[in-house]
Amino acid sequence: MTGLTPRVIVVLGYSDRGEGVLHPICVERLEHAARIATEHDVVVLSGWARVPGTRSEAELMASAWTGQARELVVDPDARTTVGNATNAVDDVLRTKATEVIVVTSRWHAPRSAVAFRWRLRGSGATVVTTVPRGPGRFRDWLRELPCWVLLPFQLVAKRR
């Protein structure tokens, strides 16, 4: 962080399938974000409620947040990685952040970086990803493959 310009740390949710508890992958992401966040950062917790009438991933993360933050933003509307990035644009512009740190999983980081960089192009903010330790499961890496095919269409459809 430079001077008083805050970083925006975006923590991407991971579905609990409507069970009302944080999925272990989401817990790892949240704990990792809490370790790197400072009192100057704006932390965005992002993720929807898969089952109507249940708490969103973002709300569950907010209840479990133990880190520091200048401001904690709860984004319960983002349903996709592109949605996470699109919704974070307002927070980045509002705070005049020059650095955006996306907290996700190792297998999800490359696609997240592309989505956030695309949505934040022209904003002057740099985007980096950071991940909790651990390589992830092979099936998670495989699940990412079709998401890459959809990514260009999602980016075009989510124009603001």
pLDDT in tens, 86-133: 999 999 999 999 999 999 999 999 999 999 999 999 999 999 999 998
pLDDT in tens, 62-95: 999 999 999 999 999 999 999 999 999 999 999 9
- Region 135-154: what's the mean pLDDT? 84
How many CA atoms are closer than 13 Å to the CA of 17, on its beta-carbon side? 3
SS3 call for 12:
strand
The H helix count followed by the E strand count for the chain is: 5, 5
Packing angle, helices 138-157 and 81-95, rounded to 10? 60
C-alpha triplet 154, 85, 74: angle, nearest 5°: 130
Q: How far apart are CA 72 and CA 25, in angstroms?
A: 20
